[in-house]
Amino acid sequence: MSYTTRTNHEIDYKIYGEELQFVEIELDLNETAIAESGAMMMMEDGIQMQTIFGDGSQQQSGGFFGKLMSAGKRVLTGESLFMTAFTNAAQGKKKVSFAAPYTGKVIPMDLQELGGMIIAQKDAFLCAAKGVSVGIHLQRRLGTGIFGGEGFIMQKVEGDGMAFLHAGGYIVEKVLVPGEVLKVDTGCVVAYTPNVDFDIEFVRGIKNFMFGGEGLFFARLQGPGRVWIQSLPISRLAGRIVAYGTYHRKEEGSVLGGLGNLFDGRE
């Protein structure tokens, strides 16, 4: 899928911050950006905000039923029925900013350069130019859907405009040549182009999966194509926070104070 001219709105952008980033989008007159509900951080006067069914893409032109079906697909990916459209209704350029929901990186993706589509983890989408479609992608392989860390349903982002994803920790992009294989922790896969073959591989060796701490499965990505990997999945971060919060620290109520933590390695 290739484009000679863009059918989606063309937007300019700038990303600010390091660990907790936000993206600032500059809109010309009548240009629109769409975003997940609650993602907006700030906007200049003259920008109109409108709640819409689904993503407001041209694929929703089939009347109310078509919009309802498109919005319903978003529910399957764990998102809201509604998105918010931000349109510059004033003269001159206006700016609107969208913030990341947790520590990590905002990933700008020019869908025109990526062949018109990417497949992403369910909660990765942050915002995009109007016309970009956010739907569902069903994993075809049973094993991938059950053990792939993201289930059968992932997000499919289509169009020829700019889209912005968010993921945890540091983000690395890998370009795989034909036949090249990359093995990744299942929770660390953020997105990939559709020509990448995504499968799940069983960890060999009973000691590896019993004592290795890496789980029973990992993702097997085979080129050609591009993949984006995150160093800190939100599930891993949440698990560590829960474990830390429920752990009884030795200095609590103890005359030893912080000395107890020195013995157990939890300083």
pLDDT digits (tens, 9 = 90+) for 61-78: 455 555 555 544 554 444
The token duo for 53 is 């069914």
Average pLDDT, the chain: 78
pLDDT digits (tens, 9 = 90+) for 178-223: 999 999 988 899 999 999 998 887 766 544 444 444 456 788 899 9
pLDDT on residue 67:
52
Kindly report the pTM of this predicted structure: 0.77
The token duo for 154 is 């992932």
What fold, for 14-247? Double-stranded beta-helix (3.60.160)
pLDDT on residue 49:
94
pLDDT digits (tens, 9 = 90+) for 214-267: 456 788 899 999 999 999 887 776 766 777 666 555 444 444 445 445 444 444
pLDDT digits (tens, 9 = 90+) for 97-155: 999 888 899 999 999 999 999 999 888 999 999 999 888 877 655 444 444 444 447 88
Reduce the secondary structure of 210-239 to three states and give it as a string. Answer: HHCCCCCEEEEEECCEEEEEECCCHHHHHH
In the predicted model, is pLDDT for residue 26 greater than 80? yes
For residue 82, give every residue at least 6 positions away whose Cβ sits within 8 Å of its Cβ, in sequence order, or none: 37, 51, 52, 53, 54, 71
DSSP assignment of 104-124: EEEEEEETTTTTTEEEE-TT-
Q: Kindly list the domain boundaries of the chain, sorted by start residue.
A: 14-247
The token duo for 161 is 């405009």
